A and B are shown apart, each in its own frame.
Chain A
Amino acid sequence: AQSVTQLDSQVPVFEEAPVELRCNYSSSVSVYLFWYVQYPNQGLQLLLKYLSGSTLVKGINGFEAEFNKSQTSFHLRKPSVHISDTAEYFCAVIRSSNTGKLIFGQGTTLQVKP
Chain B
Amino acid sequence: DGGITQSPKYLFRKEGQNVTLSCEQNLNHDAMYWYRQDPGQGLRLIYYSQIVNDFQKGDIAEGYSVSREKKESFPLTVTSAQKNPTAFYLCASKANTGELFFGEGSRLTVL
| Interface band, chain A | 20 to 34
| Interface band, chain B | 20 to 34
Q: Which residues in B have their C-beta under 8 angstroms from that of A92?
A: 100
Q: Are A41 and B99 in contact (CB under 8 A)?
A: no
Q: Are A104 and B43 in contact (CB under 8 A)?
A: yes
Q: Are B96 and A43 in contact (CB under 8 A)?
A: no
21 contacts between A and B (CB under 8 A): A32-B98, A41-B105, A42-B105, A43-B6, A43-B90, A43-B102, A44-B90, A49-B97, A49-B99, A51-B97, A90-B43, A92-B100, A95-B98, A96-B98, A98-B94, A98-B98, A102-B98, A102-B99, A104-B42, A105-B42, A107-B42
Extra pairs beyond A42-B104, A90-B42 (15, CB < 8 Å): A36-B102, A41-B88, A42-B105, A43-B90, A43-B102, A43-B103, A43-B104, A43-B105, A46-B101, A94-B98, A95-B98, A96-B98, A98-B96, A104-B42, A105-B42
